[in-house]
C-alpha cells in the first residue's frame, strides 16, 4: 500500500487521468460490448470473434514506426498524438453506426461491415498509439519511477473496466428489451467522450524529446539472447491467444445466455484483473519477472482445460465459466505485467520500441494463425468445436511455460547500469 500511496502523488496526476480515460475506452469499445452487438446483428460466432480483434491485427502497422520517426526527425510525441487523436474517439462513430442500424436506415450486414471498418482502422491506431505510449513512459521516467507507476497505471485502467462493466451487465438486458440496438450506443458514446479526453490529456505529458529507433546494434548486447528467447515465448503466447475462444462468444452461442451474462463475465474478469494487478505490481517491483511469466502460462493453461467442464448439459456450466474467467484474468494480468517488466529490464529507451517493432509482425502472425484455425474450427459448431480450441490453447500455454527462461536472480535481471 505504500507503493500505491507514492503512486498517488500529484506529479503523477496526468498519468492517472489518462489511465482512467483509457479504462473507459478499452472496455466500452472492446470485445465485451462488440461481441454481443455483432451476434445481435446476426454475425456468425467465428466472424464476430475475428471482427472484434481486428485492432490486434492492425498493429502490424507498427513496423512503419522507425521510418516515420526518421521522416519526422524523431518526433515520437507527434506520432502518438496523431494516432490517438484519430483512434481513441472511435466510440462516437460506433455509436452513430449503431443508432443508424437501430433506426432501420442501415441493413444489418452493412452495419457489421462498417463496425468492422471502424474497429479495424481506428482501433488499430488506438492500439499502436497505446503501445508507443509505453515506450514514451520508458524514456521520460527514471527506472525506479517507471517500476512504480507503470503497473499501477495498468491497474487503474483495469479498475475502471470493472466499475463500468458490472452495472452495464445488470442493465443491458433490460435496455435491449426496451430500446433494442440503441442500448449498445450508450457505452460507445461514453467511450467516445473518454477518447476525446485521452487525446487532450496526452498533450500534458512531458515530451520524450527526439527519439530514434536503433535499426541494428553494432555488436551483440549482453541481453540479446534473452530478448530473442523472450520473443519466442511471446510468439507461443500469441498463438495460444488466437486459439483461445472468447468466453462471451461461448456463453451466448453455445450456452444460450443473454448479453447481460456475457458482459458480466467481462466485468468479473476486469475486477479480477484489478485485484491481481495490485498484488503482481508490488511483486514485480522487487521480484522475478521471468518466474511470474512462467506461472502466468501455467495458470492460463489450467484454466482452459477447466473450461472443458462447462459443457451445455452441465447445470453448473455458467458458474464454471465464471471460475475460468477469474483464472484467465489472473494469468493474463501476471503475463502482461511480467512480460512488459521483463522487456523493460532487458532493454531501455528506444531499444524497447525497436523490440516491439521487430517482433510485432511475428507476434501478430502467430495470433492471426491461431485465429484462422479457431474460426475454421468454430464452423463445426456446438460444444465440440470449442472443446477442441480450449484443449489446443491450453496445450500451447503449457509449452510456453516450458520454454520460458528463468533468471538466476530475483531482482537484478536488468541491463547493466552503464547502458541506462
Q: Kindly report, residue by residue over 213-223, the tens digit of the pLDDT.
A: 655 554 445 45
Please count the other Cβ atoms lying within 10 Å of the Cβ belonging to residue 169. 21
For residues 16 and 281, the model is more confident at 16
User: What pLDDT does residue 286 have?
Assistant: 63
Helices then strands (H, E): number in the chain?
18, 0
What span, in angstroms and rounded, lies between the C-alpha atoms of 104 and 402?
A: 53
What span, in angstroms and rounded, lies between the C-alpha atoms of 364 and 328?
A: 20
What span, in angstroms and rounded, lies between the C-alpha atoms of 281 and 236?
A: 24
Q: Kindly report, residue by residue over 54-66, the tens digit of the pLDDT.
A: 777 666 666 677 7
CA dihedral sign of residues 307, 312, 314, 316: positive
Q: Kindly report, residue by residue over 184-237, the tens digit of the pLDDT.
A: 999 999 999 999 998 888 888 888 888 766 555 544 454 567 777 777 888 898
Number of residues that make up the chain: 420
- Residue with C-alpha cell 442500424? 101
Contact 171, 187 (CB under 8 A): no
Residues near 250 by Cβ (< 8 Å), separated by ≥ 6? Answer: 307, 310, 321, 386
Q: Kindly report, residue by residue over 74-119, the tens digit of the pLDDT.
A: 888 888 888 889 989 999 999 999 999 999 999 999 999 999 999 8
Alpha helices, DSSP H, located in 244-316: 247-253, 259-286, 289-306
Measure Cα distances from 333 to 140, 337, 350 in Å: 24, 6, 25
Q: Domain residue spans in the chain?
A: 10-412
- Residue with C-alpha cell 444460450? 256
Q: Report residue 293 as a C-alpha cell.
A: 511469466
What span, in angstroms and rounded, lies between the C-alpha atoms of 106 and 153?
A: 39
Half-sphere exposure (CA, 13 Å, Cβ side) for 43? 26
What span, in angstroms and rounded, lies between the C-alpha atoms of 116 and 48?
A: 9
What span, in angstroms and rounded, lies between the C-alpha atoms of 172 and 259?
A: 7
Alpha helices, DSSP H, located in 43-107: 45-52, 54-58, 65-71, 76-87, 90-102
Comparing CA positions, the residue from 141, 131, 159, 195 lying closest to residue 281 is: 159
Of these ranges, 8-17, 125-134, 165-174, 393-402, the one predicted with the greatest mean pLDDT is: 393-402
Q: What's the CATH number of domain 10-412, 2.20.25.570, 3.40.50.720, 3.40.50.150, 1.20.1250.20?
A: 1.20.1250.20
Distance from the first to the final alpha carbon of the chain: 28
Amino acid at each position: 500500500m505504500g507503493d500505491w500511496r507514492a503512486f498517488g502523488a500529484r506529479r503523477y496526476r496526468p498519468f492517472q487521468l489518462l489511465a482512467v480515460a483509457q479504462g473507459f475506452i478499452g472496455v466500452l469499445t472492446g470485445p465485451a460490448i462488440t461481441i454481443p452487438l455483432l451476434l445481435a446483428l446476426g454475425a456468425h460466432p467465428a466472424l464476430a470473434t475475428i471482427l472484434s480483434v481486428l485492432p490486434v491485427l492492425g498493429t502490424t502497422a507498427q513496423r512503419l514506426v522507425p521510418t516515420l520517426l526518421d521522416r519526422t526527425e524523431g518526433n515520437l510525441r507527434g506520432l502518438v498524438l496523431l494516432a490517438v487523436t484519430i483512434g481513441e474517439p472511435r466510440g462516437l462513430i460506433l455509436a452513430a453506426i449503431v443508432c443508424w442500424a437501430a433506426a432501420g436506415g442501415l441493413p444489418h450486414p452493412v452495419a457489421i461491415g462498417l463496425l468492422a471498418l471502424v474497429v479495424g482502422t481506428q482501433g488499430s491506431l488506438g492500439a499502436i498509439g497505446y503501445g508507443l505510449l509505453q515506450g514514451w513512459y520508458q524514456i521520460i521516467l527514471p527506472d525506479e519511477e517507471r517500476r512504480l507507476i507503470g503497473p499501477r497505471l495498468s491497474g487503474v485502467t483495469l479498475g475502471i473496466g470493472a466499475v463500468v462493466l458490472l452495472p452495464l451487465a445488470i442493465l443491458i438486458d433490460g435496455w435491449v428489451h426496451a430500446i433494442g440496438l440503441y442500448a449498445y450506443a450508450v457505452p460507445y458514446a461514453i467511450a467516445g467522450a473518454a477518447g476525446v479526453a485521452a487525446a487532450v490529456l496526452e498533450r500534458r505529458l512531458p515530451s520524450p524529446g527526439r527519439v530514434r529507433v536503433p535499426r541494428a546494434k553494432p555488436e551483440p548486447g549482453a541481453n540479446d539472447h534473452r530478448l530473442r528467447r523472450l520473443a519466442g515465448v511471446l510468439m507461443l503466447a500469441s498463438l495460444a491467444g488466437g486459439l483461445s475462444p472468447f468466453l462471451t462468444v461461448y456463453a451466448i452461442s453455445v450456452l444460450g445466455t443473454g448479453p447481460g451474462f456475457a458482459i458480466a463475465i467481462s466485468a468479473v474478469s476486469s475486477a479480477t484483473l484489478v485485484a491481481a494487478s495490485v498484488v503482481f505490481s508490488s511483486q514485480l517491483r522487487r521480484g522475478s519477472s521471468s518466474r511470474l511469466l512462467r506461472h502466468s502460462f501455467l495458470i492460463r493453461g489450467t484454466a482452459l482445460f477447466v473450461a472443458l467442464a462447462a459443457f451445455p448439459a452441465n447445470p453448473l456450466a455458467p458458474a464454471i465459466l465464471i471460475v475460468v474467467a477469474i483464472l484467465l484474468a489472473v494469468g493474463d494480468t501476471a503475463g502482461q505485467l511480467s512480460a512488459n517488466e521483463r522487456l523493460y529490464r532487458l532493454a531501455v529507451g528506444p531499444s524497447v520500441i525497436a523490440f516491439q517493432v521487430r517482433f510485432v509482425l511475428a507476434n501478430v502472425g502467430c495470433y492471426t494463425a491461431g485465429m484462422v484455425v479457431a474460426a475454421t474450427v468454430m464452423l463445426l459448431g456446438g460444444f465440440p468445436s470449442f472443446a477442441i480450441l480450449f484443449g489446443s490453447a491450453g496445450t500451447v500455454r503449457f509449452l510456453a511455460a516450458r520454454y520460458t527462461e528463468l533468471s538466476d536472480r530475483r531482482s537484478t535481471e536488468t541491463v547493466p547500469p552503464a547502458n541506462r
